[in-house]
Amino acid sequence: MADPKKKKLSPVQQQYQELAKKREPRRPVLKNCLRAFVSGGTICLVGQAIQQMFIHWGGFPKEKASNPTVAVLILVSVILTSLGVYDKFAQWAGAGSAVPVTGFANAMASAAIEHRSEGVVLGIGGKMFKLAGPVIVFGTVTAFVVGICHWLFG
Amino acid sequence: MLQGHQSWVFERKPVLLGTATVVGPFEGQGPLADDFDIIHGDLSVGQQSWEKAERTLLEEAVKLAIENAGLTKDQVQFYVGGDLTNQIISNSFAARSLSIPYLGVFGACSTSMESLALAAQLVDSGAARYVVAGTCSHNATAEKQYRYPTEYGSQKPPTAQFTVTGAGAAVVADKGEGPAVTRATIGRVVDMGIKDPFNLGAAMAPAAVDTIEAHLRDFRIEPGYYDVIATGDLSGVGHPLAKDLFRRHGIPIDQTHFTDCGLLIYDFEKQKVQAGASGCGCSAVVTYGHLLKRMRRGEIRRMLIVATGALLSPISYQQGESIPCIAHAVAIEAE
């Protein structure tokens, strides 16, 4: 009885949960990892190709080329979200489509589309960050902590 | 009239005078397509919001059910209905345009049989001659309210279920031609401590088993009394679990054809719906469409529909609460 959550359950509940656990189809973790690796890697490869194009033909210096690259990837992701394709791709790709910047763009665009019917201000404006908000909040907090560490030990 | 501890027997045998089912495009691609009255090719049903689309499905189903019963809506005394949206707006707003005296009910996905049981009770007790029971669900409104925006790319686990886009309605009458609603059992809320909102089948299975066992006990019958016992939306995970529980409790469920509406509506080979279907619309359209058609063809004489509902809200599961569940059973017999 190491798990404190389980202690609150009655014996009948515990018995049932064991049974339910046995009947629960497992998430195909290995397959999901492979798919995430392939799809996430492909998105990054495409991103790299776009960046090279901006360096070679766009006349961008190496340090500045990542900004237009991210903009292109976000645009593509938003278009695919609007066409109703991105969520289907994500069911296959899993983390591979969620982790790159395209996943972040999808989180914002999908919320904006979904809540459009509730108005431009409260619907789009208010609910656009429903899913992306935590990423920004905890990203900023993490950056702050890392910044302090860097200042102390760096 | 009360029978046993928690069941009703309808002695005047109210009949299902007319029923109607309206579904969305994805359900129209499934194996039961021929059993539905209206199949919409457009998920938004030509409306500007998902909520309006869901309401439209229900309005169509209720109007068509009344028409199929050979009645006009001013002859119907009461409308009993509910759905999954917050404050059951689909039903209340549909009732506004139907202008039939209205009782809104909520039992999550068990609302289909909750409303039918109440409608039959109203007719059986002489409180009304004609009552409509209706319910609906829409994939996009359910996703939006309970999970994520529809276009958000999140990977669903294999235990997840797909909410049916559809509405079903039935006119219950004190006399006439049609299958009779003979019995009902009102379920208790059962909570086995399951917390995963992506595994509702496992959460709801014990509630279905509890209600079926109460039904068998109250009427002193065995499962073999019914040709079909169909649960609402336990699907691929919950349905085998319910069978396991019956085996443990020594109930001979194999005497009957024990099936689940959530396993019937989609083609698992072609349609990627993880564990199966869910939603108020699931049990409503499968019962009022598919199963009643089979009864009219003489393939089923007696059936027990056990609609299952998970009584969670997005707030309750975010606060770490477990998922309380309920199931209501209604028996339908060929005339």
Nearest to A19 among B148, B191, B241 (CB): B241
Pick among B151, B156, B196 to test the A interface (most A CBs inside 10 A): B151
**Over pLDDT 90: what percentage of chain B?**
99
CA of B67, closest CA in chain A: separation in Å? Answer: 33
Nearest to A25 among B154, B159, B205 (CB): B159
Long-range pairs for B59-62: beta carbons < 8 A, 24 or more residues apart: B59/B94, B59/B97, B59/B98, B60/B20, B60/B22, B60/B167, B61/B20, B61/B21, B61/B22, B61/B37, B61/B134, B61/B136, B61/B167, B61/B168, B61/B169, B62/B20, B62/B94, B62/B98, B62/B132, B62/B134, B62/B167, B62/B169
| pLDDT at A8 (0 to 100) | 79
Determine whether the interchain pair A24/B202 forms a contact, defined as Cβ–Cβ distance below 8 Å.
Answer: yes
| pLDDT at A69 (0 to 100) | 96
ipTM over 0.90: no
Class of domain B2-173: alpha beta
Does A154 score more than 90 pLDDT?
A: no
Does B253 score more than 90 pLDDT?
A: yes
CA of B101, closest CA in chain A: separation in Å? Answer: 29
Residues of chain A found within 8 Å of residue B157, distances taken between Cβ atoms: 27
In chain B, ranges of CATH 3.40.47.40 domains: 2-173, 180-333
Residues of chain A found within 8 Å of residue B150, distances taken between Cβ atoms: 87, 110, 114
pLDDT, one tens digit per residue, over A102-119 is 999 999 999 999 999 999
| pLDDT at A146 (0 to 100) | 97
| pLDDT at A1 (0 to 100) | 43
Cβ burial of B142 (10 Å; 0-12, 13-18, 19+) is buried
For residue B48, how many other CB atoms are within 10 A of its CB?
A: 10
- Any chain B CB within 8 A of the CB of A81? yes
CA of A114, closest CA in chain B: separation in Å? Answer: 6
Determine whether the interchain pair B155/A111 forms a contact, defined as Cβ–Cβ distance below 8 Å.
Answer: no
| pLDDT at A125 (0 to 100) | 94
pLDDT, one tens digit per residue, over B100-159 is 999 999 999 999 999 999 999 999 999 999 999 999 999 999 999 999 999 999 899 999
Determine whether the interchain pair B199/A114 forms a contact, defined as Cβ–Cβ distance below 8 Å.
Answer: no
CATH number of B180-333: 3.40.47.40
Which residues 12-31 of chain A have a CB within 8 Å of chain B?
A: 12-13, 16-17, 19-20, 23-28
Determine whether the interchain pair B275/A131 forms a contact, defined as Cβ–Cβ distance below 8 Å.
Answer: no
A63, two tokens: 């340090």
CA of B152, closest CA in chain A: separation in Å? Answer: 5
Does B15 score more than 50 pLDDT?
A: yes
**Residue A129: closest C-alpha in chain B:** B149
**Residue B198: closest C-alpha in chain A:** A24
Amino acid in the structure at residue B2: L
Inter-axis angle of helices A29-56 and A66-82, nearest 10: 130
pLDDT, one tens digit per residue, over A46-96 is 999 999 999 999 899 998 999 999 999 999 999 999 999 999 999 999 999
Does A4 score more than 60 pLDDT?
A: no
**Residue A29: closest C-alpha in chain B:** B157
pLDDT, one tens digit per residue, over B177-233 is 999 999 999 999 999 999 999 999 999 999 999 999 999 999 999 999 999 999 999
Does A5 score more than 60 pLDDT?
A: no
CA distance B50 to B163: 13
**Residue B199: closest C-alpha in chain A:** A24
pLDDT category, A24, cuts 50, 70, 90? Answer: very high
